[in-house]
Amino acid sequence: MAPSIDPRAPGKFPLHNLPTPEPESPLRPRKPYRFSTLCATVENPDMKDQYGSSSVPIYQTATFKGVGEKYDYSRSGNPTRSHLEHHIAKISSAAHAFTVSSGMAALDVILRILKPGDEIIAGDDLYGGTNRLLTYIRTHVGVTIHHVDTTNPETLHPYINSTKTAMVLLESPTNPLLKIVDLARISRDVKERAPNAIIVVDNTMMSPYLQRPLEHGADIVYDSATKYLSGHHDLMAGVVTCNREDIAQKLAFTINSVGNALTPIDSFLLLRGIKTLALRMDRQQATTQMVAEYLYTLGFQVHYPGLPDHPGQEVHARIADGNGAVLSFETGNKELSEKIVAGTRLWGISVSFGCVNSLISMPCVMSHASIDPATRAARGLPEDLIRLCVGIEDPHDLLDDLEHALVDAGAIVLDVAQNKYVRVPDHAALALAANKLRLEAAEQKQEWFISAPGKIILFGEHAVVHGVTAIAASVDLRCYGLATPRKDGKLSIRLLDIGNFTHEWDVQSLPWDAVTPIAPGDEHPEELDYRLVVALNEKALHFIGDENKAAHGACLAFLYLYMILNRNEEYPAFDFAARSTLPVGAGLGSSASYSVCAATASLLVHRRITLPRPLPPSSTEHIHVSHQGRRAIAPQTAEEVNKWAFVAEKILHGNPSGVDNSVAVFGGALAYTRPGFGRKGGMEGIQGFKHFNFLLTNSKVPRDTKKLVAGVGAKKAKEPELVNSIMEAIQTISDEARRALADPELPRESLLDAISALMNENHQHLVTLGVSHPALESIRRTTQAHKLSTKLTGAGGGGCAVTLIPDEFEDSKQRDLINALIREGFQPYLTSVGGSGLGILSPYPEHRALGSRSRRPTTDSLGQVTPPETPTPSLLSSNEIVDGSANSTDLYPPLHDTFVSSSVAELPVWAGDLGRWLYV
């Protein structure tokens, strides 16, 4: 039953079905409870707890006993959720309320009412996630969407079609410009012109405490309850309310069918949060008013309906009961805004709002980054906009922290004559903007040089598929990638190790209509975008035949990343060349190191990741360095690269474990256990991993990884006891190796002996599983003649063997062994294990050398090439340092020609001579 409205205060104090005290006398009736009392009093006359609990119990159960009872399955209904929904309806002037897993899930449920051919009228200042979902249904469902300025009700009139307009989607105030929309008038206008249209309002910014759009003609209201209703950012939830029975039935059907109703534990937490909604909002609003007035008096353009000159303030006062706890302001310069946001301490940087903790963000690079810049500009969304979401901290502390950030960023200075802070003149901000544009222009012309190591599996091959822990480590054989800008609107690739494959595409000809870009900060879905994969195969890669599967896979991964990371602001044209000192296809993680290079190149070209700028010599700021003494790439940058490299690995291998790309990004060594086998799953770095010398020998025998893995699975099904015992034995080996490698007190000689013995034992188990090969056994016999331990690595069935080289092993014996292996037709590489991960050549002039010096490659009489260790920065003389002036990037030559023409032996030496490398 819908609540009635108290005639004494229309639209302000709804009479709800919460019992009120009995009248003391007929002459002195009780007044309805006010909002704060309604919030704090969770009562449902139809659902009395049998024990009289003062807090609604959590019915943490999926099913209920009995037939024909009110509750049978928690997806369809749960008592805790019922209490919550009754409570929300009570405070929202609603007859029906539904709670789902998030605010976006709430909008998704609402949009499922639509059908192909329908039209939506939506605001032009919407939350980025709303815009993203509307874009999706326009593309995939066939719904037409008109974005208009809803602050002027008359702008909607030309778009209202009496039969086609199915929905109008509104926010007031809007996010993040705090524009005011006359919900009552628009609802009336639309109903007159399109009676069947549904008015939907996102009320997250206000919450039911400050605004109840159902009272002003809306048909559906939804909130991200993650925000103010919860108030603590400790749960995700969405709320949908309505008064129409027909709409309620459709919403309930969808929620029950999809199964995204809120869980019992989250329902309980949300109920608890709502109890303090009024208290929190009162404190937050009061502080927000202070912050808005402070910024306004400094001269900033401030967007907040509590300011006297805010457009639409009169309308807002008519439809709302307060001004909210969100404001935004403009500085006039994006770089200045970035400094302000980064300079706060008490204000947490976050994309969300509505928490008891105060938050700060830049919408154009955070919550609204999924809207392309051209559209943002067309809708009047300033790139320099800062959004403040005020919490319940002491207002003086918040103002003091914000003032410090403004001062440190150079946005305000102390005026001694007036004895107060004033805003820095606009011409200084213009100078900052000009400098930023110069830097961005330089970045667009920048060549990006990247490298990533290969990997070996020391222990646990094949067993890892069955839940056994694998130990993987990086090797000092690397893949190199070079992204060189083009000026002709083309995208090109050169794969020097795959038949010197080359091809180029006109950027505009790529299937952009098939891509759904992933916004910065968002996660790639678990499944690949197969619509994009199919489009690329049919339109961009159709010319590559089955005989060149390796090139096809590499191109597909490259194009997929390039397109899905693009934000529609521009289509950068560049050439990507990749080559490797790793043997390709030998089981040493060449595809993963390529994936890391390709992902890093796309992220850099699309400006999705940045490198730390060099500190001035006088700076005392702490510089984080890696264990090898090189300046490190930031951990969050490495995590971003690893996330997208894993996507590329999915394209190349279907269902990768994530080990290879993680080693290629982070270097060192890690232990990986596949989830779902009774042990703790996941990856964990092995701290203190020692540096070892290894001989990697490529058998040059092709291997079929899928066939080998399937063979072990078949053997397990046929002989489960034997295979399970082998798996347990390999797990014991991995555990012992992990303990030994991480033990700082174990003498090196004892460690090498232990690793040697474990390698021999691990290999014998792999032989029993049937994954070795005569070529690998031949390599083992040759190395055993020198009393060395060798095992297969990776898939086996060919591929590579790894041989541990003791510290005392003489150089002459190494040469003899290498020559013997070459005579047998194998390809040995003397390298080391446990070095750095992802490396990026520093783009900054002060880190770069003028040209590159040549060195003679290291070769022996039989032509064996031994690539050197991971490239280290050269000691650059003063006359080789670029001066860092504006045109200094012209002083060192482009890298592309030398990169593609150098020999494998020359490549890492030349790369190391170019300047300083930044490593993870």
Residues 264, 340: contact at Cβ < 8 Å? no
Which one is catalytic: 90, 227, 579, 716?
227
Residue 825 has a CB neighbour count (10 Å cut-off) of: 11
- How far CA 118 is from CA of 12, 114, 150, 199, 538, in Å, comes to 35, 6, 19, 14, 31
Residues 230, 84: contact at Cβ < 8 Å? no
How far apart CA 477 and CA 837 sit, in angstroms, is 11
Q: Name the one residue in this structure whose structure tokens are 């025998």.
A: 701
Which one is catalytic: 6, 75, 250, 567?
75
Residue 857 has a CB neighbour count (10 Å cut-off) of: 18
Question: Coil, strand or helix: which one is 517?
Answer: coil
DSSP-assigned letter for residue 255: H
Take residue 419 and report the two structure tokens written for it: 């004895």
b (16+ CB within 10 A) / e for 644-666: bbbbbbbbbbeebbbbbbbbbbb
Residue 278 has a CB neighbour count (10 Å cut-off) of: 20
How far apart CA 265 and CA 288 sit, in angstroms, is 32
Judged on CB neighbours under 10 Å (0-12, 13-18, 19+), 683 is middle
Residues 511, 535: contact at Cβ < 8 Å? yes
Residues 737, 759: contact at Cβ < 8 Å? no
Contacts of 346 (CB under 8 A, 6+ apart): 358, 393, 397, 398, 401
How far apart CA 822 and CA 862 sit, in angstroms, is 8
Residues 622, 853: contact at Cβ < 8 Å? no
| Of the candidates 592, 576, 705, the residue with the CA atom closest to the CA atom of residue 651 | 592
How far apart CA 510 and CA 562 sit, in angstroms, is 10
How far apart CA 534 and CA 531 sit, in angstroms, is 5
| Of the candidates 111, 119, 150, 107, the residue with the CA atom closest to the CA atom of residue 379 | 150
Neighbouring-strand partners of residue 387: 328, 361
DSSP-assigned letter for residue 3: P
Residue 439 has a CB neighbour count (10 Å cut-off) of: 13
Which one is catalytic: 124, 182, 202, 266?
202
**Alpha helix (H) residue ranges in 606-719:** 635-653, 659-666, 705-718
How far apart CA 174 and CA 531 sit, in angstroms, is 33
- How far CA 30 is from CA of 8, 16, 25, 706, 711, in Å, comes to 13, 14, 9, 77, 80
How far apart CA 180 and CA 150 sit, in angstroms, is 8
**To 10 degrees, what angle do helices 635-653 and 659-666 make?**
150
Q: Name the one residue in this structure whose structure tokens are 């397109």.
A: 563
Which one is catalytic: 127, 222, 228, 594?
127
Contacts of 144 (CB under 8 A, 6+ apart): 117, 118, 119, 120, 138, 164
Residues 479, 590: contact at Cβ < 8 Å? yes
Is residue 227 part of the annotated active site? The answer reads yes
How far apart CA 148 and CA 174 sit, in angstroms, is 13
How far apart CA 78 and CA 354 sit, in angstroms, is 27
How many Cα atoms sit within 13 Å of 544 on the Cβ side?
Answer: 21
Is residue 202 part of the annotated active site? The answer reads yes
Contacts of 554 (CB under 8 A, 6+ apart): 493, 495, 498, 501, 578, 594, 598, 652
Residues 496, 472: contact at Cβ < 8 Å? no
Catalytic residues: 75, 127, 202, 227
